[in-house]
A = this chain, B = another copy of it.
C-alpha cells in the first residue's frame, strides 16, 4: 500500500493550499484527499469528526447560541498539465498557479486551518468538506448529506467557500433549461411544398430571444441580473430532406425572488404556442444578508457584498431555510481555466475575514 499523503495544518494557509492542490482529487477520486483531511483533524479535542463517503464533517459542540455551517468541495475538474502547483508572479502580483487553486482548494485550506486552530469560536461551527461538486448534481456530496443526514447542515447561517475574490457574494440566481420544439412534415427538398419546414418555424423563437430584455431585480439589497439565452440549436435530417423537427435549447437565469415554478410559467408565456420541455431546474437562493449573523459577517469582512450570478451550492442551504453566502479566495473567471491561479493576498484576506468573524461573532 502506498503511504497516504499527509497534511501539515500548522503551515500557512498558502502552504496548505499548495499541499491540497498537489494531492489530485478530480471528481470521483477524492478518497486520498478526504483521508488526509480526516487524518489531520482526528485527535482535535474540540471537533467531532463524521465521515460520509468522501465527505468529512467536523463540528464543535460548545453549546453556543448560534451555529454556522462553513463548507467547501474538495474535488476539481480534470487536470490539464496543471498539477503540481507552482508560484507565479504577474505584473507584480503573486499567485499560486494550478488546478484547484481557485476552485476551490484555497478556500478549503483556509477552512481546515481555522477548523483546527479555532478551538473556542464565538459560535458553534459545522465544517463540511465534500465530494463530487464538479459533476452531475445527482452525485453532489453536499446534496447527499442534505438528503441522508440533513441535521448535519442545520445552522443559523452558512458560508460556502466558492471563489468570490474574498468578497461576500450573496445568494445566487436560479437556473432553468428548457427545450423549445417545432414540428413539421418531412419531404424531399426537391419538392419542399409537399412538406413543412420545422426549422423555419423556429424564426419567431429566435426573434423572441434576440429581442428579450432581461430584468435586473433587487433582492435583499443586492441587484441580480437575469439572462435568457439559446445555448443550443439543432434540427435537420439530411441535405436533401425538409426537416420535421427542430429545437432550441434555452437557458434562463432568474433572480432568486422568483421561484422555479414562476420561472417556468414565465417561459411558457414568453414561448406561448410552442412545445416546451423543462430539462433542468435549480432554484435560486436569496442572499439572506438581512440576518443578524450575516450583518456581523459583512462588517467583519469589510467590502461591499455583491450578488452571485452563477448557481452554487448555497441554494442547497437556502432550500433548507439556512441563509447562505459565497466567500472564498480566487477569481471565479479563472475557475476551470487551464491557467487557473489564485492571488496569494486573497488567501490571507479570506483567512483574516473568517478568523476575525468567528473569533468575535456574538452569539
Contact = CB atoms under 8 A, between A and B. Distances in A.
Contact size range, A? 35 or more
Contact of A201 (B175, B190, B210, B236): B210
Number of chain copies forming the complex = 2
A309 to B, nearest CB: 4
A310 B190 contact: yes
B177 A239 contact: yes
A91 interface: no
A251 B189 CA distance: 8
A206 B210 contact: no
B233 A190 contact: no
Interface string A92-105: 00000000000000
Contacts of A253: 189-190, 192
A197 B229 contact: yes
A324 B229 CA distance: 51
Given A188-B310, A309-B190, A199 B230 contact: yes
Contacts of A175: 190, 240
Given A207-B203, A239-B232, A189 B249 contact: no
7 contacts: A173-B190, A175-B240, A192-B214, A197-B230, A199-B233, A199-B248, A200-B230
